[in-house]
Chain A
Amino acid sequence: MDTSSPEPSLETGRSSPARSVLAFTIESREFALPLAPIVEITRYRVATPVPHIEPAIEGILPLRGRMMTLLDVRRYLSRPPRVAGSSAQVIVVESAGDLLGLVVDSVSRVLTTEAPAGPRSAPAGFSRPDLFEGVLRLDDAEILLLDLEALLRGLA
């Protein structure tokens, strides 16, 4: 956990209570998800394909006696697929009793921040601006905060 990282500044915004986010990378860009619904982080395993109209849904995997649905975040954000054989990690979130595994390149750090309410603009090269809640600006980096609720809604 990287608690010594500098206080992030908000691009815009109303002030909200501090909250924690988990940062991860895709194509060496940093993204983040709220920490609360995350139940664990696992290594990537190949899932059993399932019929679904959303192509980013890779399939299902057993996880501790339950079934997890796996979502390829790269594909969902319309990014090119990972290089075959490159490592990946899975961020497991629990939502209304269901487990969803988000496939990312790697998990980088946990941050505590005053919640940003930045513009819902997709960064260059990404479709689906509705999936972003805003941008966290740190001294050394820029982190795109994903809106998990919007993401889940988009899947349903």
Chain B
Amino acid sequence: MADEGGGSGDREGSLREFLPEAEEILDRLSDHLRELEAVFAAGRPCLEIVNTIFRDTHSLKGFAGLLDFPDIASLSHELEDLLSRLRLGGVLDRTVLDLVSDTVDALFEALRALRSRAPARGDLGSLRERLRRAAAIEPRPAGGLEGLDIPPAILAALTEFEERRLSDSHGRRRRLTLVRLQTDAQGLDGVLDETRRRMEEIGEVIAILPVADLPDGLLAFDLLVASDGSLRLEDCPPGLVQGVREIATRGATPPSGPRQPETAPEGGLEEMGSPSGLLRVAVARLDEILARAGELSMAVVSLEGTVRAVRERHADDHRVRELEPLVQAILKRLNGLQRGVIDARLVPLDQVFRRIGRVVARVARTGGKEADLHTLGADTEIDKSVMDALAPPLLHLTTNALDHGIETPDERERGGKPRRGRVVLSAFRRGPSVVIDVVDDGRGIGLEATRAAAEARGLIRPGQPITSDEAEELIFQPGFSTAARVSEVSGRGVGLDVVRRSLRRLKGSIEVRSVEGQGTTFTLTVPISLALVPAIIVRSMGQRFAIPVGSIKENLRLDGSRLRPGPGGEVYDHPDGPLRLFRLERLLTARGSRERTGQGRYAIVAGSGARRAGIIVDDFIGSQEVVVKPVGRWLRDSPGVAGATDLGEAGAALVLDPEALVAGANDGHVVS
């Protein structure tokens, strides 16, 4: 498209180049902003992180300028101005922090507008004016460095900003120390991080300056540290630091310590970062490779069948005998190729967690709630398309937790809880699935409030009592919401029913557990990849069905002595309590014509709480990863049908959604 020659084609090209990169920078920037908010709230020094944000902003500005996105370039330029005042000693307060945050929001909005080719919302004019006014406040003038016995080579290597920090510390009569580190290249990051961390407990690391001219394989750095008390070798992590030398101020005795450090030019440290070895690839390209690999496997599978037939006819031809292992070897490698491509599509959940963290900060700020977001297992990997589809429901659940779950600080205090609420997002891999918990320590699902809301919406009969299991089911009903107040972010009208539908589309499931007054946990289970869904293949009515593993609670081999008849099916004496069982043919067939009883030796258990039920099938054939394909619109709305898959020689098989099937049984779609 970029080659069409027209200006708009070029524009499309640079847009495609710009958007992902800019979004990545902005994501990073807003993470750092959250960090800054945390550091600021804790009253710790913010300079380090302000610097990082400054660098992010600078890259965004440069990139936007390069590819000609003037609005974003100029907005980031003004943000950069503001940040540079902060770096040079400007005061960081709540107003400034909000301004930075608003600007980042505006930048996100600008990117969104570019992506959807729609005009950006919001008033950029007044934001710009606020930025300009804030940046215009003069920073404190830098004091002199006279009287400091600092090696000229080091002084020359300091940036203007570092010099200002130095003179500021000097002006405040803090002790200045040079700490020499030496390490080999492998240990570099660890040693540097550890030392810096320790130094920052004591004081402020003003600059890290690489030392030149060392023997091969060795690296050394001087850390210029400002602290209130004297810094001694014992304060440093043992074994990492080579020497400590206090910089004399006027009238002090000349320091003793290691030899005069020599410095490398500024920026030497940054260049030490190795290239990332990353390459950006459009997901569509990977999909295409995956589709090709899939077609190839199909072709080889039919080749395998032909080879088998030929072998039967020419059993004594040794060349024919050699064919089968060859075909097997090709299949095995093809499977490896498919796996490889699927793995290449995996990304850490971190990306979506960070996005949610940003929103949480905003919701908490505007909603008068005090809450911290904790994430666990952010490095858990998941398919890019699954992650993208998972982001809206996760975001919804998290903002719900803040809006409706977490109480106001006063309310919490009255309930004997800490004023600050907690929302935890945790992810871990379980076999072929990723399990994500959204946990809050808020008020939980109120039985009476739920009952009243359900009654008001006609979901239950007036006065009908409900159990907590039923309450946990009712909140997923369309149109259900107990929110007395509608927040800007979680909005109105999009409820948990939509969240559940999104999860179903992902061949996943959602469950909730709640203790009134103590909190709520939503558990989401999704397959790691949608390209291949791990499934159990079962037989019923003489045909095969695939059931995604992620939505199966348990596979049961039925013991006939534990079966007894029950309403609409049978009841099984399960160790966890009585389990209702339904035959698959009864759940699935719209007309009773195919009703025919097989052995019914196994059951697939799905659903939770009151909706937990087992689906009786005749046989387990095995487990296999299947590609789920959409069925035509004539079947799309059949309850319990999630799609279909091609089992090769065995033909097409329906992919079932066991939860929807047992839900149908519960809702009385199945009449005994």
A residues touching B (Cβ–Cβ < 8 Å)?
A: 46-55, 57, 59-62, 65-69, 96, 98-100, 155-156
Contact B590 A53 (CB under 8 A): yes
Given A50-B654, A51-B641, residue A67 in contact with residue B629 (CB < 8 A): yes
B591 to chain A: closest residue by CB: A53
B230 within 8 A of A: no
Contact A52 B632 (CB under 8 A): no
Contact A69 B291 (CB under 8 A): no
Given A51-B638, A53-B590, residue A61 in contact with residue B652 (CB < 8 A): yes
Enumerate chain B residues within 8 angstroms of A59, measured Cβ to Cβ.
Answer: 652
Given A52-B635, A57-B634, A60-B654, residue A67 in contact with residue B591 (CB < 8 A): no
Given A69-B631, A156-B633, residue A52 in contact with residue B652 (CB < 8 A): no
A98 to B644, CA, bound (A): 13
Enumerate chain A residues within 8 angstroms of B632, measured Cβ to Cβ.
Answer: 60, 67-69, 98-100
Minimal beta-carbon separation of B114 from chain A (angstroms): 29
Enumerate chain A residues within 8 angstroms of B294, measured Cβ to Cβ.
Answer: 65
Identify which of residues 552-606 in chain B touch chain A, using a CB-to-CB cut-off of 8 Å: 588-591, 594
A128 to B97, CA, bound (A): 72
Enumerate chain B residues within 8 angstroms of A61, measured Cβ to Cβ.
Answer: 651-652
7 closest A-B pairs by CB: A98-B632, A62-B646, A69-B632, A48-B652, A67-B644, A60-B652, A51-B590
A143 to B543, CA, bound (A): 39
Q: Which of A49, A65, A67, A155 contacts B543 (CB 8 A)?
A: A49
Most buried by A among B638, B643, B654: B654
Enumerate chain A residues within 8 angstroms of B411, measured Cβ to Cβ.
Answer: none
Contact B651 A48 (CB under 8 A): yes
Identify which of residues 618-637 in chain B touch chain A, using a CB-to-CB cut-off of 8 Å: 629-635
Minimal beta-carbon separation of A148 from chain B (angstroms): 14
A50 to B636, CA, bound (A): 11
A111 to B644, CA, bound (A): 36
A59 to B294, CA, bound (A): 24
Contact B653 A48 (CB under 8 A): yes
Enumerate chain B residues within 8 angstroms of A55, measured Cβ to Cβ.
Answer: 591
B71 within 8 A of A: no
Enumerate chain B residues within 8 angstroms of A62, measured Cβ to Cβ.
Answer: 629, 646, 651-652
B residues touching A (Cβ–Cβ < 8 Å)?
A: 291, 294-295, 541, 543-544, 588-591, 594, 629-635, 638, 641, 643-644, 646, 651-654
Contact A49 B635 (CB under 8 A): no
26 A-B pairs with CB atoms under 8 Å apart are A48-B543, A48-B651, A48-B654, A50-B638, A50-B654, A51-B588, A51-B641, A53-B590, A53-B591, A59-B652, A60-B632, A60-B652, A61-B651, A62-B646, A62-B652, A65-B291, A65-B295, A66-B629, A67-B646, A68-B632, A69-B632, A96-B633, A98-B634, A99-B632, A100-B632, A156-B634
Minimal beta-carbon separation of B79 from chain A (angstroms): 45
Minimal beta-carbon separation of A49 from chain B (angstroms): 6
Contact B631 A60 (CB under 8 A): yes
A76 to B493, CA, bound (A): 42
A51 to B632, CA, bound (A): 13
Minimal beta-carbon separation of B66 from chain A (angstroms): 40
B298 to chain A: closest residue by CB: A65
Minimal beta-carbon separation of B628 from chain A (angstroms): 10
B594 to chain A: closest residue by CB: A49
B653 to chain A: closest residue by CB: A48
Enumerate chain A residues within 8 angstroms of B638, measured Cβ to Cβ.
Answer: 50-52
Minimal beta-carbon separation of A125 from chain B (angstroms): 25
Enumerate chain A residues within 8 angstroms of B633, measured Cβ to Cβ.
Answer: 96, 98, 156
Enumerate chain A residues within 8 angstroms of B590, measured Cβ to Cβ.
Answer: 51-53
B589 to chain A: closest residue by CB: A51
Minimal beta-carbon separation of B196 from chain A (angstroms): 55
Minimal beta-carbon separation of B370 from chain A (angstroms): 49
Minimal beta-carbon separation of B378 from chain A (angstroms): 35
Most buried by B among A51, A54, A61: A51
Known: A49-B543, A67-B643, A69-B634. 18 other contacts (CB 8 A): A48-B652, A48-B654, A49-B594, A50-B631, A50-B641, A50-B654, A52-B638, A60-B644, A60-B652, A62-B629, A65-B291, A65-B295, A67-B629, A67-B631, A67-B644, A67-B646, A96-B633, A98-B633
A65 to chain B: closest residue by CB: B295
Enumerate chain A residues within 8 angstroms of B544, measured Cβ to Cβ.
Answer: 48
Enumerate chain A residues within 8 angstroms of B646, measured Cβ to Cβ.
Answer: 62, 65, 67
A145 to B294, CA, bound (A): 40
Minimal beta-carbon separation of A37 from chain B (angstroms): 14
Enumerate chain B residues within 8 angstroms of A48, measured Cβ to Cβ.
Answer: 543-544, 644, 651-654
Minimal beta-carbon separation of B145 from chain A (angstroms): 72
A69 to B590, CA, bound (A): 17
Minimal beta-carbon separation of B582 from chain A (angstroms): 14
Enumerate chain B residues within 8 angstroms of A51, measured Cβ to Cβ.
Answer: 588-591, 635, 638, 641
Most buried by A among B291, B629, B632, B651: B632
Most buried by B among A55, A62, A66: A62
B545 to chain A: closest residue by CB: A48
B638 to chain A: closest residue by CB: A51
Enumerate chain B residues within 8 angstroms of A68, measured Cβ to Cβ.
Answer: 632
Most buried by A among B590, B629, B652: B652
Minimal beta-carbon separation of B621 from chain A (angstroms): 14
Enumerate chain B residues within 8 angstroms of A67, measured Cβ to Cβ.
Answer: 629-632, 643-644, 646, 652
Enumerate chain B residues within 8 angstroms of A52, measured Cβ to Cβ.
Answer: 590, 634-635, 638
Enumerate chain B residues within 8 angstroms of A156, measured Cβ to Cβ.
Answer: 633-634
Minimal beta-carbon separation of A96 from chain B (angstroms): 7
A57 to B654, CA, bound (A): 15
Enumerate chain A residues within 8 angstroms of B630, measured Cβ to Cβ.
Answer: 67
A69 to B644, CA, bound (A): 11
Enumerate chain B residues within 8 angstroms of A99, measured Cβ to Cβ.
Answer: 632
Enumerate chain A residues within 8 angstroms of B588, measured Cβ to Cβ.
Answer: 51
Enumerate chain B residues within 8 angstroms of A96, measured Cβ to Cβ.
Answer: 633
A64 to B635, CA, bound (A): 19
Contact B291 A50 (CB under 8 A): no
A61 to chain B: closest residue by CB: B652
Minimal beta-carbon separation of A76 from chain B (angstroms): 12
A46 to B649, CA, bound (A): 12
A47 to B543, CA, bound (A): 11
A156 to B633, CA, bound (A): 8
A61 to B650, CA, bound (A): 11
A51 to B640, CA, bound (A): 10
A99 to B632, CA, bound (A): 7
Enumerate chain B residues within 8 angstroms of A47, measured Cβ to Cβ.
Answer: 651-652
Minimal beta-carbon separation of B487 from chain A (angstroms): 38
Minimal beta-carbon separation of A143 from chain B (angstroms): 27
Most buried by B among A50, A96, A99: A50
Minimal beta-carbon separation of B656 from chain A (angstroms): 11
Minimal beta-carbon separation of A151 from chain B (angstroms): 12
Enumerate chain A residues within 8 angstroms of B652, measured Cβ to Cβ.
Answer: 47-48, 59-62, 67
A68 to chain B: closest residue by CB: B632
A66 to B630, CA, bound (A): 8
Enumerate chain B residues within 8 angstroms of A98, measured Cβ to Cβ.
Answer: 632-634
B544 to chain A: closest residue by CB: A48
Enumerate chain B residues within 8 angstroms of A69, measured Cβ to Cβ.
Answer: 631-632, 634-635
Enumerate chain A residues within 8 angstroms of B644, measured Cβ to Cβ.
Answer: 48, 60, 67
Minimal beta-carbon separation of A15 from chain B (angstroms): 34
Minimal beta-carbon separation of B597 from chain A (angstroms): 17
A65 to B644, CA, bound (A): 11
A51 to B661, CA, bound (A): 13
Minimal beta-carbon separation of A111 from chain B (angstroms): 28
